[in-house]
Structure 1
Amino acid sequence: MNQEKLQQQIKQLATEKNALLIAHNYERDEIQEIADITGDSLALSIEAKNTDKSVIIFCGVHFMAESAAILAPDKIVVLPRADAGCPMADMVTAEGLREMKRQHPDATVVTYVNSSAAVKAESDICCTSSNAVSVARSIDAKKLLLVPDRNLGRYIASQVPEKECIFWEGYCPTHDQLKVAEIKQAKADNPDALFMVHPECQPEILELADHICSTSGMYEFAAKNPAEKFIVGTENGILWR
């Protein structure tokens, strides 16, 4: 069966099942092409909550579908691949976090939404990559335990120097592997391009950025900025949109 016919069958089945097909920005082009909505994990979960469809087909990873199910308990949320996991989310467990909380009883736990429901349940507050800094600033506590992404944690710490920040040593393999030499070469090859990057990248990469933002923020930045060329520091699935 060719791809176009398969896509048509998926769309038809979704209609028959009264299902909303949503796909994360990082999905492959052929998945995003047939999605009713594309976006980042939180935006998609909110769409799942607000839709009048009874079934949500979430093309993403486990924690994303889990978040959608939490926000839309009256709906059936289907994850097409049960083995679709996020390496960073898997780097922290509820048991491990409980132990770290015992070591730092005076710290407020700020957990990135890229984590399991069990880990979120052990947290004081959750954040997204777009509101992480404002969430950290809103907390009265002077000591923060930032989970699970050390790179996002370091970015938060750089923006709230008045707070003591402790990091869980997790990371996104894709963002963490970006190298300074690669970015400098890309900028040299494209001197008229602006470099926008996700805060899950290492601090030395963020220092080279023209703009640091979430995936949704990248769309907004590119749409509003007069520049015609951008170097994108995140998963290549974002380029489809």
Structure 2
Amino acid sequence: MRKDLREDIEKLKKEKKAVILAHNYQIPEIQDLADFVGDSFELAKISKSLEGRLIIFCGVRFMAETTKILSPEKKVLLPSDTAGCPLAEMVKEKDIIFLKEKYPDAWIVTYVNSSAGIKALSDVCCTSANAVKVVKNIPAQKVIFIPDKNLGWWVKKNVPQKEIILSEGYCYVHQGFSLQDLERVNALYPEAEILVHPEAPPSVLEKTNFVLSTSGM
């Protein structure tokens, strides 16, 4: 990043008393500018304790929405109005209404990687770090897990005592990891530990040393 551009951003941030939050998927130049870097829910929680009333969230739309939900008194700006998450967009509000009618005795458990509208129609929300714990401890025996089918599969594997209905959503980046990729890298570094996010396909999750959330990694 050009020095003059960085100086302009720092000056404007000071004038507006703004705080920059950056998801750890952002490029290094953006992370270097940020006041806080972390996963989406971690940053949303941090926003609650900030004195500044203006938050610039360098991430995708659902992350900024979650931050606004937890800090309604603050103004949250998303630098790009096209910064969407394909996974979050794979489930629509009409889909939730249909599922509620089809399975009236089921709880809707929604992964935080979803829109504010979807969260509002859900019974409970979870993160990749606590999804298993949440599903295990809610009173419902029948659960509809949305929108990520791979994280849902991981929850289903770890909570076999409950009936868990999965949706068909997925993160196209994590979905792209294959067992062949894993075996190839493992052959190059046989002593390395394998850490995988639960949004990866089941074939990969079954062969890893650790299944961890972003913050867990």
What are the residue-to-residue correspondences of 1:39-188 with 2, within 5 Å? 39-188=38-187
**Partner Cα separation in structure 2 for residue 212 and residue 9 of structure 1:** 41
Structure 1 runs of 4+ off > 4 angstroms?
none
What are the residue-to-residue correspondences of 1:192-203 with 2, within 5 Å? 192-203=191-202
Secondary structure at the aligned position of 2:33 is classed as coil
* Between 6-15 and 194-203, the greater mean CA deviation after superposition: 6-15
- After TM superposition, give the deviation of residue 141 of structure 1 in Å: 1.2
**Partner Cα separation in structure 2 for residue 4 and residue 43 of structure 1:** 30
**Partner Cα separation in structure 1 for residue 129 and residue 7 of structure 2:** 35
What is the aligned partner in structure 2 of residue 232 from structure 1?
none
What is the aligned partner in structure 2 of residue 229 from structure 1?
none
The count of residues paired between Structure 1 and Structure 2 equals 217
Secondary structure at the aligned position of 1:205 is classed as helix
What are the residue-to-residue correspondences of 1:3-14 with 2, within 5 Å? 3-14=2-13
Unpaired runs of 5+ residues, structure 1, are 219-241
RMSD: 0.9
- After TM superposition, give the deviation of residue 7 of structure 1 in Å: 2.2
**Partner Cα separation in structure 2 for residue 195 and residue 12 of structure 1:** 42
What is the aligned partner in structure 1 of residue 14 from structure 2?
15
**What letter matches 1:155 in structure 2?**
W
- After TM superposition, give the deviation of residue 30 of structure 1 in Å: 0.8
Unpaired runs of 5+ residues, structure 2, are none
Secondary structure at the aligned position of 1:33 is classed as helix
**Partner Cα separation in structure 2 for residue 4 and residue 171 of structure 1:** 39
Q: Deviations over 1:208-228 (max 9, x none)?
A: 11111111100xxxxxxxxxx
- Percent identity over the alignment? 47
Secondary structure at the aligned position of 1:11 is classed as helix
Q: Normalised by the size of structure 1, how large is the TM-score? A: 0.88
**Partner Cα separation in structure 1 for residue 162 and residue 10 of structure 2:** 49
What is the aligned partner in structure 2 of residue 37 from structure 1?
36
**Partner Cα separation in structure 2 for residue 92 and residue 35 of structure 1:** 31
Q: Deviations over 1:65-119 (max 9, x none)?
A: 0111111111110100011000000001111111112111111110001000110
Secondary structure at the aligned position of 1:162 is classed as coil
